[in-house]
Structure formats: C-alpha cells, structure tokens
A = this chain, B = another copy of it.
C-alpha cells in the first residue's frame, strides 16, 4: 500500500470547495495518474461552523489556524486559494522553505512578490506551481514555461479578465455605456460588489506580470506594468471602433521592444485598445479569456477558455496538484524560476503603439494642415485621416461650423503620441477630443 500524498487546503470558497469536490469525485482517477492516493490533511478557513452545503469532507478537517496546518509534518502539498498578499505570503514561504510543494492561484502575490516565493522554493528544494493564477482553466503557464522553451516569444497579447471582457462585449453588442454594462455584469454575477480590481485593470496587470516573466525569462512585477482600466471607455469609443471595423478589448500586452540603442527590452501594459474584428481575439466574447502568443518559430498561437469560476480554476489547481504529487513520489523537482535573461523593463512612453484619435474641429480651411503639423512636430506619422460626421454639435460634415476628423497613426513611441494628443487639445481649432484609443493587432 503506497502512502497517500497529503494536502493542506488554504481557503474553501468558490474555488476551494470545487477542489474538495473534484478530489472526492475523481479520487480513483487521480490516484491512478499519480501512483498514490491524495488525501486532505486539513482545510484552513476564516470561520468554522459555516454551512458548506453538501461538501464531501469530514467537518473535523476544518481549522482556522492556517499557519499551524502548513507546519504540520504530515502535510506534503499546500494548496492556496485564499488570495491577497498577507497572510498568504507568510504561509507559502513557510511551506516552501520546509520543502513542501505549493500550488497557488494567487496572482496578486505572484505579481507583487513572486521573487520571495521563488527564493523560498529554491531554499527548500520545493515545487511552486501556479497555473490557476492566470486565465483560470486555460493551460497557459505550462505551455509558456515548457513547450515554448525551445522558441523565442516576441509578444503576448491577452484578454485575461472576464469581468471587463463581459462589460466591453455588452457595450459592443448593445451600444450601452460603461455604467450600464457594469450594472448588468454585477446583476449577473460577473462583477463583484467592488469591481475596482477588475475594471481598473489591477487583476489584468497582475496576470500580465506573470505572463511576461515566463515569456521573457525576466522578473516582471505588477509595479512594472503600465495600467489603464476601462472606466473611461465610452459608448462613443465603441461606436468609433465599430466604424473602423474594430472592437474594444482590455488587453494585456507583453512585448519585446528595442530601446533607442537597439538593445532588447521588455514593455508590459494593460489598457483598452481597438482590435480589428478579424483578429482571433476579437471574437472572444462574454467572460471568456484568450491569450495570443507570437513566437519566432512557432508563429501565432492562441489559447482560449474560461478564465474564472470555481470549477475551471479548480481544474487548473488539480492539474498542478497531480504534477507536484508525482514529482514528490519520484523524488524530483520541476525546473525552478527562469529569469536568466533579465531584460530591462521599459516605461510605457517607450512602448511602440498606434493611436486612433477623433477630433471635433472647426470646419474651415487650414484645419487639417494645422492638425497634421502637430503630428509631424512630434515625429508621428499619420496612417489614415477620415473626415466624418460632426461630433458633439450634431451638424453634418462640412455643413456647419464643426467637423470631425478621425486619425489613425502609424506606430510611434507612446510618449510622442500622448504629447501629440496633449498639444491637439490645446489648439483653439480643436473643439474637443471625443475619443483617444490605442490600436492593436495590426489593424
């Protein structure tokens, strides 16, 4: 009889209870795949005695002493699905230093202080797995970490937050504004009561840091990620995008960029952007996630699936549990953090982006020349100019005293583009700038 691999489960909310359920339902299969049964040694929760429905687990396993549970000698693997920086960091560092394998879904902690976890793992000779931290059920970190290790990843572009994708998809489908779409998302359970982490891009930025670290073999933290949320995206922006054959998505982008001296650097950012409707990411609707990877030899790859929810996240957690349990039985450890490339992370101003700018301008001769002059002064080259119907005034193009100019630029440093828009806002022939959005995906 092979002795079981014993798990400490930290957290028993939506994900944790699905982990418990799957461990129970699939126990025979999991044991066959691992070569030993899995057993729950204990479950740390905030409060005891809570009604946990029909969770198939002995009530005696629950404890409020997470650290005590982690330290127990009969615990082999620690599964953390609590989230947040502390106290999770303390528990996991303790576990890893003691040589216990850790499986975590904690993107905030990994993005903020992954270095502490990796250091503890190295110290204890322990495995640290975190597939569930990015894009829920989608196997993504393992492909980046292992399958693409013979290749050179140039760019990762992802939709990694389901809440904002639901909101933007709704805005695109119905013409609703942000507030209305957020309300719908909240009513349907896609947005939390406090949606800040999602709509302001914090969640996506944490995931961007994790993806960039793996893709570029470089430590990237949440603080390195330029972050803009979707609260400023208007129905007018969505309509502008539609007129361009585009849709708006909150993208996380991690890209290699050469600096002024041609040296390789990395830029990581989260912001709303227009992408062409023909781009594979454009059709990722509802709360789905997808990550588009461009690699030197592999070319374009896309990974698509459910990015959140109890069962999908639990699937990723259990995949990692099987892996670390097998490693323990085999007495081996997965390759540790790969950060050898150590590329400098450059600020947003140096990222190469393209802008879509709508301007309400005075409808008189010389306006286009003046506007084009501003772009030229900042070294920004214009790709297309379209004179559309007038903006706020409601008057037809050329018929009244206002006109609308829609300008799409070629690629330029983001700082030059931002400065261009800033100067345009100050021109007195420019009445207003109703929409400024970055354009991604080769539109």
- Of the candidates B147, B298, B315, which one forms a contact with A311 in the assembled complex, judged by CB atoms under 8 Å apart? B298
Give residues 322-348 of A contacting B (CB, 8 Å): 322-323, 326, 330, 332-333, 335, 338, 340-341
Contact, CB under 8 Å: A332 / B335: no
CB of A412 to closest CB in B, whole Å: 30
Contacts of A137 in B (CB 8 A): 151, 295, 297-299, 301
Contact A146 B319 (CB under 8 A): yes
Complex: how many Å from CA A34 to CA B26? 35
Whether B298 pairs with A306 at a CB distance below 8 angstroms is yes
B142 contacts A147, C-beta separation under 8 Å = yes
Please report the C-alpha to C-alpha distance between residue A25 and residue B143 in the assembled complex, in whole angstroms: 21
Q: Does A304 contact B (CB under 8 A)?
A: yes
Contact: A149 with B297, CB < 8 Å?
no
Choose from B131, B283, B332 the contact partner of A147 (Cβ within 8 Å).
B131
Interfacial residues of chain A within 32-59, with CB under 8 A of chain B in the complex: 32-33
Q: Is the CB of A305 within 8 A of B300?
A: yes
Interchain CA distance A93-B254 in the complex, whole Å: 42
**A306 interface neighbour in B143, B280, B299, B317, Cβ under 8 Å:** B299
Residues of A136-150 whose CB lies within 8 A of B: 137-139, 142-143, 146-150
24 contacts between A and B (CB under 8 A): A26-B150, A30-B150, A32-B217, A32-B341, A33-B340, A137-B301, A138-B298, A142-B142, A142-B146, A146-B319, A149-B319, A150-B315, A150-B318, A151-B319, A283-B283, A297-B314, A298-B315, A299-B306, A299-B309, A299-B311, A300-B305, A302-B305, A303-B303, A330-B335
Contact B26 A321 (CB under 8 A): no
Max chain B Cβ within 10 angstroms of own Cβ: one of A30, A138, A298, A317 = A298
In the docked arrangement, what's the CA distance between A304 and B280, Å?
A: 10
Asked, given contacts A283-B283, A304-B280, A330-B332, whether A150 binds B320 with beta carbons under 8 Å apart, the answer is yes
Binding site for B on A (CB under 8 A): 18, 22, 26, 29-30, 32-33, 131, 137-139, 142-143, 146-152, 217, 280, 283, 295-306, 309, 311-312, 314-323, 326, 330, 332-333, 335, 338, 340-341
Question: Which residues on B sit within 8 Å (CB–CB) of A316?
Answer: 147, 150, 298
Let me know if A149 and B323 touch, CB within 8 A.
yes
**B341/A29 in contact, CB under 8 A:** yes
Determine whether the beta carbon of A304 is less than 8 Å from that of B304: yes
Cα distance, A148 to B138, chains bound together (Å):
9
Residue of B nearest to A103 (CB): B150
The 6 tightest CB contacts between A and B, nearest first, are: A150-B318, A139-B147, A139-B143, A137-B298, A297-B315, A301-B305
- A333: which B residues are within 8 A, CB to CB? 330
